[in-house]
Structure 1
Amino acid sequence: MMALAMAGACSSSIVSQSSRAPSSIPTISLPFTSTLRNNNTNNYNSKQYSITNNPHHRLFQSKLPPSSTPVSAGQAQQIINPTTSTPTWSEFASKISGEWDGFGADFTTEGKPIELPEYVVPEAYREWEVKVFDWQTQCPTLAHPQDLLLTYKTIKLLPTVGCEADAATRYSIDERVVGGLDNNVSAFAYQSGGSYAAVWPIVDNGQHKQLELEHCLINPRDKESRMRIIQVVRVANTGIELQSIRVFCEQWYGPFRNGDQLGGCAIRDSAFASTTALKASEVVGVWQGPSAISTFDSSQNVLIQELVDDKVRKTVRDEHNLILLPKQLWCSLEGHKGGETWCEVGWLFDHGCVVTSRCIFSSDLKLKEILVTHETAISGE
């Protein structure tokens, strides 16, 4: 009982206790589940996994193959242009680089948290029927200020009992590369403050594609706090379908050290997956604010672009299609006029203030625009 109390207070484990009845919604397996039982190199969703023998666990390392997929669901030549940095990129690189530690969790398309696989949960939690939804995570990130190059790793740590930061063990490492010969992103749009949106091709079996739409939002009032919301979507001839959602709540802990130092019990945040979700009433209504945009033209195939200041936009938001998440987050996927599909996420970082990120796909399922908007609520409309 004492160990569980310690875990709730300051553990590097990710613990949430919930009396919620089991969901009738089919659960979505975590990305690494099917590879745990194999002892050889595996190919899972087009990611290459190498298993490192360890007396206590097996570590799964994944790296997307270099992308041959451009900014759309169609096929075209990959071109990264330009290859030299701009002042905006240099500033972005200084803001994004470093050790980002926090917690991560997966959610169904209805916003319900998904429990971690039973085999990674310490027996003490199972005995006390404590449900575990969150991974403690690290995200060491390095962007080169003089070149359009960025790499980061999402590292998941096995849950532990009590304040066992020194004993934290890596469960998986997922490495992503933007730019250069090893580039595996289809589209990347960035702002000087450190926010970005990325389209990652995961699966292409000829009949459908699976993409991860990653939206990284910096808190406008705290540059050392950010949210990464990933929409996993299936792209087929019939359209785009949301399959699952992944959320990382992260804070900056210092310069880049390639994940060598754990945040552990010093981490300034806590597990969040089973906490109260955003209330729809807080984000519906009329909103307005300045936007920044990147336009992706398949004829040019410029994959890395700056988000350029655009016009002030007004948005009327209702509850329809909103998926409400903890940490004052939401996401949506909906069709619009002209056959467009909008894949959006948002963060209510303060009362009446939101930041949104939107990937807009055209009727032929090609990425058309990435749009980031800072909005304030307009009362009386």
Structure 2
Amino acid sequence: MENSTYVQVRRRTIVAAVLAGVALPFGLTACQSDADSGAAGKPSASGTPSAPPATITVTPADLTGDVRPDAPVTVTAAGGKLTDVTVTAADGTPLAGAVDAAGTTWTSSAALAPATAYAVHAVATNTAGSAATRDSTLTTLTPTETAFPAVAPLAGSEVGVGMPVIVTFDAPVAKDKRSVVEQNMTVTGSPNPVAGSWNWRSDTKVEFRPEQYWPAHSTVHVGLALGAIEVAPGVWGKSRDIDFTIGSAMLSTVDIGAHTLTVTRDGEVLKTIPVTLGQSGSGGQFVTRSGTKVIMSLEKSREMNSETTGIGQDDPRYYNLDVKYAMRLTNSGEFLHAAPWSVASQGRANVSHGCTGMSTENAQWMFQNSKVGDVVTYTGSDRGIEPGNGFNVWNETYDQWRQGSALTA
């Protein structure tokens, strides 16, 4: 039998050693093993299991470098909260995004650029305050087909208050893509905002006009954020930024019956010019169209050949003239221009083939005081201007115009 005194001393020693945290010989260790702690983590020095590290997942996972530019980037933390997320393009441009209210998911708020590599850096902290880091990369696809948007007016140009913004794509835009294309095309006026709408003229052309004429002496910014937009299956857009200015408000009125052209600038009448307009007869072929027209181009000299209107050389009405100071108003061939051969009729009778003719002196003055985008409104004939015949955006009410928007439809 073991000595009772020795047993009591030995038990007190074991208890004291455990309470003091002293390591005991192998035969006297505690029963629980490290394997039993499982997901709770290793015991801390105080005996409390530590929290497992946070894990970070980045989506999309880049395996082949074909990430779609319109794919959102998400960074998600499990077992902790995100404390830092940066997604940066190779040129150092950061990708905008934000973490949700729970602090566990970051989502990009801007589109990716095509054919671009991005570096993702994320840090998440678990409940014990330990940080975990994740670094990864992703690369967006390189489009094999693109639709380039040509824009009028040109960057840096000065135009009149009636000039529309015209975007012409060199590849068709699918009908079901028009709304997302519009959402990524912005037109901003300065110093004051301008309300306006796009109108699809075809599958390659879309035009913007403000509700009313542009404010004179202002600036306009056109932003086309289309690089991440698939405008048709397998066809991606191109991004562009265009800035132009609006000059003085040149608003002219032509009274076809009175044979006069009245020119105003910023509300002040500058000049009233005697003119001749389209003659009657010939089935109304030469009657000048009524409606609001916009100057499309200015040419100091232009050849005008009646064969372009169907009048051949064997017709007594045939002409082929070198015309001075020509200002185009329609696609169909209406111009303001010098017509020295008809001075006797100017202010008295309409004898032209549809153009607005005036003396060389008056045409030169008009030419020197006009710019692309200036407005010329014609009244007095029963022949209206056809849709799409020139920069013809002011012959509909604004509500009618808006019906051509994919967003309104």
Same-fold status (TM-score > 0.5): no
The TM-score normalised by the length of structure 1 is 0.24
**Structure number having the greater strand percentage:** 1
The TM-score normalised by the length of structure 2 is 0.22
Q: Which has the bigger relative contact order, CA under 8 A and spacing at least 6?
A: 1
